[in-house]
Structure 1
């Protein structure tokens, strides 16, 4: 037998590829990187600690807008409406609790 008739192991053979295949592989690599970036961003946005931190910051900003004279009139009005609504909601819940406790 000659050396040409003996096949090389599969691991040493070069895989068949065309320029189109190389371009598709490059496009897949870019798509994978974009997908990984998107998943990382979604994970960061949905993190409960990060959401709680943003809610606290928003509440502080809202309180500061309502109590500070430095806020714009639109921001101050919005903050007062939101805080007034929150206070009214708490008052309604408390009234319902008191009414339910008197019946029972």
Structure 2
């Protein structure tokens, strides 16, 4: 609809300062909600999650290899990588044991 279709002498809608304040608050709330939804969509994107996981793995590997890394980060890297290696070894042992029984 264009403004041309409205009569020139149409009365303006009744508003009060409280109504205008509520409308402004509603507009702000809508903008914040839209921002939150956009952020959630970005966080839940599978490609973005995969990228963060790869970067986290690279950082762990770098911390484990670099002797100049923060001692706490290096200790965490060794714990995570050691746990992953132990989990892979346990899975391999279960597969081998299952094939021997079958």
- Class of the TM-score when normalised by the shorter of the 2 chains: 0.7 to 0.9
- Unaligned 5+ segments in structure 2 are 1-5
Pair 1:55 & 2:53 matched: yes
Unaligned runs of 5+ in 1: 1-7
**TM-score, normalized by length of structure 2?**
0.87
Number of the residue aligned with 1:34: 32
Q: Does 1:85 align with 2:68?
A: no
CA distance in 2, matches of 1:21, 1:84: 62
Distance 2:17 2:73 in 1: 58
Deviations 1:9-28 (A, max 9, x none): 7xx44222111111100110
Matches within 5 A, 1:1-104: 12-104=10-102
RMSD of aligned residue pairs (Cα, Å): 1.5
* C-alpha distance in 2 between matches for 1:25 and 1:19: 10
CA distance in 2, matches of 1:21, 1:74: 56
The aligned length equals 95
Which structure has the larger Rg over C-alpha atoms? Answer: 1
Specify which structure has the bigger relative contact order, considering alpha-carbon pairs within 8 angstroms and separated by 6 or more residues: 2
